[in-house]
């Protein structure tokens, strides 16, 4: 099984005028995600399912990926992908899905914490930029510390 952890794209700044959960992707964030998704196709054939945090910016990210990969199934909104979600819940969900390629769109700092837990490193202390994808492969069971980091690709912005 392969789990692809993806941080949502660049979002609007925090504002008193807009609830945190309603922050949308910026225009630049949308462009970078489209470019990045096209680049990812050099490394990923497709996704069997895309799971997304229920926050607007994550759902928008998931939809851009769905479109780039021409995926026919709907994006699945998963509450456990909100900040503070537990790694065991995420891995149990992945195991229950029993699919080969699972894309998961979430937030920082959870994405870097999930990468750390999946590959068995205490804390990678990495800042995962918006629009980054990490592939974690599990040759056997999806368990904490049993994954292998195959790649981590930062966002790609092809200028003009």
pLDDT, tens digit (0-9, with 9 covering 90-100), for 8-44? 999 998 887 888 888 999 999 999 999 999 999 999 9
Record: fold of 2-10+27-149 = Rossmann fold (3.40.50)
* pLDDT of 59 higher than 70: yes
Q: What b-and-e string marks burial along 33-68, b requiring 16 or more CB atoms within 10 Å of the CB?
A: bbbbbebbeeebeebebbbbbebbbbbbbbbbbbeb
* pLDDT of 158 higher than 70: no
* pLDDT of 160 higher than 50: no
The domain segmentation of the chain, as residue ranges, is 2-10+27-149
């Amino acid at each position: 099984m392969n789990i692809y952890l993806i941080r949502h794209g660049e979002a609007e700044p925090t504002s008193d005028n807009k609830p945190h959960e309603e922050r949308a992707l910026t225009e630049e964030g949308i462009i970078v995600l489209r470019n990045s998704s096209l680049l990812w196709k050099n490394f990923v054939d497709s996704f069997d399912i895309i799971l997304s945090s229920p926050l607007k910016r994550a759902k928008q990210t998931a939809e851009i990926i769905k479109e780039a990969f021409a995926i026919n199934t709907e994006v699945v909104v998963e509450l456990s992908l909100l900040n503070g979600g537990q790694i065991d819940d995420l891995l149990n969900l992945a195991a229950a899905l029993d699919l080969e390629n699972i894309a998961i769109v979430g937030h920082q700092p959870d994405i870097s914490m999930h990468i750390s837990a999946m590959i068995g490193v205490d804390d990678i202390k990495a800042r995962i930029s918006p629009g980054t994808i990490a592939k974690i492969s599990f040759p056997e069971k999806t368990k904490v510390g049993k994954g292998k980091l195959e790649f981590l690709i930062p966002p790609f912005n092809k200028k003009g």
